[in-house]
Structure 1
Amino acid sequence: MNTILITGCSSGYGLETARHFHRQGWNVIATMRRPRSDLFSAADRIRILPLDVTDPESIAEAVAAAGPIDVLVNNAGIGVVGAFEATPMAHIRKVFETNTFGTMAMTQAVIPQMRARRSGAIVNVTSSVTLAPMPLAAAYTASKQAIEGFTGSLSHELGAFGVRVRLVEPGYAPTTRFAANADIDVTALIPEAYAGFAAPIFEAYAQPAMTTKESDVAEAVWRAVNDTTGELRYAAGDDAVALAQAS
């Protein structure tokens, strides 16, 4: 039975991806900073491990406890919305520590075993902002764009060892805990000078039209893991697919 380790499974995309792969008969290791046993039923037999992707010791312990990993899904992420001018560098570094360096650290931790077996897959979840950058999300966009370049380069590097590296690019989903996971007060990041500019943008964000569902992302991850055609990018959600086709 194939084993998949997914980061950031306490909600949203990670949670649904864990459930999706479990339904397909996979051995699923769902990781999160603060483990919650109520997310899955006892019958699911999904293994939950604590993992903070910004903590090297936590990464080492989780990878060791997981045993052989066939697929790694780097889903854990946080966001920050606001005027870049007003965003403290501490907030920006926090976003990069999780979205960029956390993804890189997890990837580095599993490469040796996959390279030795000459098999495996690594799927990095980014965002449709890499296809069409949104206003008031400059730091978040930069953190995800870095992973796009990282993944493209690494796909060549590890492809020589039979390890596939892929990208899943979800569209906009107002139900995800985009900024909440960063514990950042967004209201403080919109100075008065930006209020008129920001108001219609936040109103547009609140509209439910053409949004990405958690199941869209889970299915895109499934395709990325099982597709052997060499495709690098997999858009998830109607809006992301439209952006990918237009780019």
Structure 2
Amino acid sequence: MHTVLITGCSSGFGLETARLFLDRGWRVVATMRTPRTDLLPPSGRLRVLALDVTDEASIRAAVEAAGPVDVLVNNAGFGGASPLECTPLAMVRSLFETNTVGLLALTQALLPQFRQRGSGVVVNVTSSVTLKPLPLVGAYRASKAAANALTESLAAEMAPFGVRARLVLPGRAPDTRFVDNARGNMAGLEHEAYADFARSFIASMQQDSTITHARDVAEAVWRAATDPSCPMRIPAGADAEAWAAEAA
């Protein structure tokens, strides 16, 4: 029986991915900063662990408690919206610390067992905003684009050891807590130079009915984890698929 460790399982993509892997017979190590055992159905194949990907001690403790892992799903992350002129550098550092550095730190903690065993998969959930230029999300987009670049290099480095790395690129998902979580990381949207543009852009995005659902992402992660022939980048959701087709 295979084991998957998934970060950011308290809601949204991570929670749905944990449900899917449980439903399909895997052992699941569901991690979150504040563990909650009521979010997933009771199962002898489920462990819920505390994990903050920005804390080295937390990473070490979670990896030790998890034991052997076959697939790592780096899903934990958060967003933000701000014109780059108005984006606090503290916000930029925080975005990169979680979305990029934290992803790499946990990956580094698990790679030795993958490499020594000669098998394993790293699935990094980033974002479809990396597929084309978009305003107001420059810092967030940069943190996810950096994660994409890390993943592609990782895939080249790990291939000789039988370890795979893949990317899942979700689209906009208003039915998850991502948007609510991002509201605490906004700046400059009411600045006199940007307010009209920001309102217009946000309204146009909200009017677009083509969106991503958590299940779309969970299925894409499943494919990345179980199908060695899948592409490096897997768009997840109707909007992400449309953007990927435009970018091709």
Instruction: Spell out structure 1 runs of 4+ moving beyond 6 A.
Output: none
Q: Partner of 2:114 in structure 1? A: 114
CA distance in 2: counterparts of 1:239 and 1:182, whole angstroms: 20
SS at match of 2:178: coil
2:83, 2:154 → 1: CA distance?
32
| 1:131 corresponds to | 131
Aligned alpha-carbon RMSD (Å): 1.6
Kindly provide the CA deviation profile for residues 49-79 of structure 1, in whole angstroms up to 9, marking residues without a partner as x.
0000000000000000000010000000011
Where do residues 204-219 of structure 1 align in structure 2 (5 Å cutoff)?
204-207=204-207, 209-219=209-219
Per mean C-alpha deviation after superposition, the further-off stretch among 189-198 and 49-58 is 189-198
Aligned twin of 1:69: 69
Distance 1:139 1:172 in 2: 17
2:51 aligned with 1:51: yes
Aligned residue for 1:210, secondary structure, equals coil
2:57 match: secondary structure: helix
**AA of the residue aligned to 1:17:** T
Residue 171 (1) aligns with residue 171 (2): yes
CA distance in 2, matches of 1:26, 1:229: 21
> How many angstroms does 1:227 deviate by?
1.2
1:82: which partner in 2? 82
CA distance, structure 1, for counterparts of residue 209 and residue 192 of structure 2:
29
Structure 2 counterpart of 1:234: 234
Structure 1, unmatched stretches of 5+, are none
Structure 2: 5+ residue runs without aligned partners? none
Provide the secondary structure at the position in 2 that maps to 1:135. Answer: coil
Aligned residues: 247
AA of the residue aligned to 2:207: Q
**One-letter amino acid matched to 1:30:** A
Q: Taking every aligned residue pair, what percent have the same amino acid on both sides?
A: 56
1:3 is matched by which residue type in structure 2?
Answer: T
Question: Aligned partners of 1:81 and 1:179: how far apart in 2?
Answer: 10
Q: State the TM-score, normalized to the length of structure 1.
A: 0.95
Contact 2:12–2:178 (8 Å) recurs in 1: no
CA contact (8 A) 1:71 1:225 kept: yes
Partner of 1:143: 143
Secondary structure of the residue that 2:169 maps to in structure 1? Answer: strand
Cα offset for 1:203? 1.1
2:211 aligned with 1:193:
no
